[in-house]
Amino acid sequence: MASQLSSRAFALVVVLLGVSLATFLMVHAVPGDPAFALLGDQATAEDIARVRRDLGLDRPLPEQYFRYVTRAVQGDLGTSIRTGQPVIRAIQERFPSTIYLTLAAIFLSTVSGLIVGIVAAVSRNRFVEFFVSVFPLVGLSLPTFWSGLLLITLFGLVLQWVPVVGDAGLRSLILPAIALALPTSAVVARMTRTTMLATLGEEFVRTARAKGVPRRLVIYKHALKAALIPVVTVVSLQFGALLGGAIVVESVFARPGLGRLAVEAILARDFPVVQGVVLVSAVIFVLVNFAAELVYSALDPRISKS
Amino acid sequence: MAQASIATGPEAEAHHGGEGGGAARAPAPSASGPRGNRTLRALKRRFSRPGTVLGVTLLLLLVLLALFAPAIQRHDPTAIHYQALQVGPSAEFWFGTDDLGRSVFARVLHGLRTSLLIGTASVALALVIGVPLGLLAGYGGRRLDGFILRFLEIDLAFPSILLAIAIVAVLGPGTMNTVYAIAASTVPIYALTVRSTTRSLAQREYVQAARALGASDLRIVVRHLLPGVVPPLLVITTVNVGSAVLAAAGLGYLGLGAQPPTPELGTMLSEARAYLRQAWWMSVFPGLTITALVLSMNLVGDALGDIYDVRTTSGRG
Q: What is the pLDDT of residue B33?
A: 47
Per-residue model confidence as pLDDT tens digits over B94-115: 788 887 878 888 899 999 999 9
pLDDT of residue B19: 34
Dist. CA B278–CA B293, nearest whole Å: 26
Do residues B173 and B185 touch, judged by C-beta distance below 8 A? no
pLDDT for residue A28 is more than 80:
no
d(CA A182, CA A193): 16
Q: What is the ipTM of this complex?
A: 0.83
- In this structure, are residues B139 and B202 in contact, taking their beta carbons and an 8 Å threshold? yes
Quote the distance between the C-alpha of residue B84 and its chain's center. Answer: 37
Tell whether A185 lies on the interface with B, counting CB pairs under 8 A: no
Predicted confidence at residue A181, as pLDDT, reads 93
Instruction: Flag if B166 and A274 touch (Cβ within 8 Å).
Output: yes
Q: Taking CB atoms and an 8 Å cutoff, what residues of chain B touch A250?
A: none
Q: Taking 50 as the threshold, does the pLDDT of residue A139 lie above it?
A: yes
Comparing A269-273, B190-194, B298-302, which segment has the lowest mean pLDDT? A269-273
Compute the average pLDDT of residues A293-301: 70
With a cut of 70, say whether residue A214 has pLDDT above it. yes
Q: Does A243 touch chain B (CB under 8 A)?
A: yes
Backbone angles phi, psi at B194, to 5 degrees: -65, -40
Helix axes B226-253, B175-202, angle to 10 degrees: 150
Give the three-class secondary structure for B5.
coil
Looking at residue A68, its amino acid is: Y
Facing A247 at nearest CB: one of B162, B286, B287: B162
For chain B, positions 48-67, list CB contacts with chain A under 8 A: 51
Residue B43 or residue A63, greater confidence: A63
Enter the DSSP assignment of B259: P
Query: Does the CB of B4 have a partner CB in chain A at under 8 Å?
Result: no
Contact across the interface for B254 and A146, Cβ inside 8 Å: no
* Alpha helices in A254-270, H assignment, sequence order: 258-267
Nearest to A29 by CA among B129, B156, B252, B166: B166
A–B CB contacts, 8 A cutoff, strictly below: 157
Contact in structure between B140 and B199 (CB atoms under 8 Å): no
Chain B contact present for A30, CB below 8 A = yes
Alpha helices per DSSP H over chain A: 2-29, 34-39, 45-54, 61-73, 87-122, 126-141, 144-151, 174-200, 203-210, 215-217, 224-253, 258-267, 271-299
Of the candidates B258, B227, B114, B136, the residue with the CA atom closest to the CA atom of residue B187: B136
Greatest Cα pair distance, chain B, in angstroms, is 77
**Average pLDDT, stretch B135-158?**
87
Question: Beta-carbon neighbour count of residue B91 at 10 Å?
Answer: 6
Cα of B251 to nearest chain A Cα, Å: 8
Does the distance separating the beta carbons of B270 and A267 come in below 8 Å? no
Q: Coil, strand or helix: which one is A80? A: coil
pLDDT of the residue at A304? 47
pLDDT, average across residues B148-168: 86
Determine the Cα–Cα distance for residues A204 and B75; give it in Å rounded to an integer. 65
Is B153 in contact with A18 (Cβ distance < 8 A)?
yes
According to the model, what pLDDT value does residue B26 have? 38
A234 contact residues in B (CB cutoff 8 A)? 313-314
Residues of B in contact with A19 (CB under 8 A): 154, 157-158
What is the least distance, in Å, from the CA of A145 to any CA of chain B?
7
Q: Provide, rounded to the nearest whole percent, the portion of chain A with pLDDT above 90.
A: 12
B137 contacts B191 by C-beta, under 8 angstroms: yes
Most A CBs within 10 A among B265, B276, B306, hence the mutation to make, goes to B276
Candidates B6, B158, B297: best to mutate against A (most CBs of A within 10 A) is B158
Cβ of A149 within 8 Å of Cβ of B298? The answer is: no
Per residue in B162-206, pLDDT (tens digit) is 888 888 888 888 899 999 999 998 999 899 989 988 888 888 888
Across the interface, whether the CB atoms of B170 and A30 are under 8 A apart is answered: yes
Res B23 pLDDT > 60: no
Other beta carbons within 10 Å of B65: 17
The answer to whether residues B113 and B107 touch, using CB atoms and an 8 Å cutoff, is no
Question: Which of B170, B177, B270 is the mutation pick for testing A, counting most A CBs within 10 A?
Answer: B170
Which has the higher per-residue pLDDT, B32 or B209? Answer: B209
d(CA B85, nearest CA chain A) in Å: 21
Which B positions 255-274 lie with beta carbon below 8 A of chain A? 255-256, 266, 269-270, 272-273
What are the residue ranges of helices labelled H in chain B? 10-13, 33-47, 50-67, 69-72, 104-139, 142-156, 160-171, 175-202, 205-212, 217-219, 226-253, 265-272, 280-308
- A244 interfaces chain B, CB cutoff of 8 Å: yes
pLDDT above 70: residue A38: no
Helix axes B265-272, B226-253, angle to 10 degrees: 30
- Enumerate residues 104 to 143 of chain A having a beta carbon within 8 A of any beta carbon in chain B: 137-138, 140-143
Residue A250 to residue A182: CA distance in whole angstroms: 15
B19 to chain A, closest Cα gap in Å: 31
| Contact yes or no for B46/B89 (Cβ under 8 A) | no
| A282/B162 Cβ within 8 A | yes
Distance from CA of B199 to the nearest CA of A (A): 15
β-strand partners of A5: none
In the three-class reduction of DSSP (H, G, I as helix; E, B as strand; rest coil), residue A66 is classed as helix
Average pLDDT of the residues in B66-85: 81
A:44-63 residues touching chain B, CB 8 A cutoff: none
Query: Buried (b) or exposed (e) across B24-51, using 16+ Cβ within 10 A?
Result: ebebeeeeeeebeeebeebeeebeeeeb
Which one of A130-134, A141-145, A290-294, B41-45 scores highest in mean pLDDT? A141-145
Q: Are A282 and A213 in contact (CB under 8 A)?
A: no
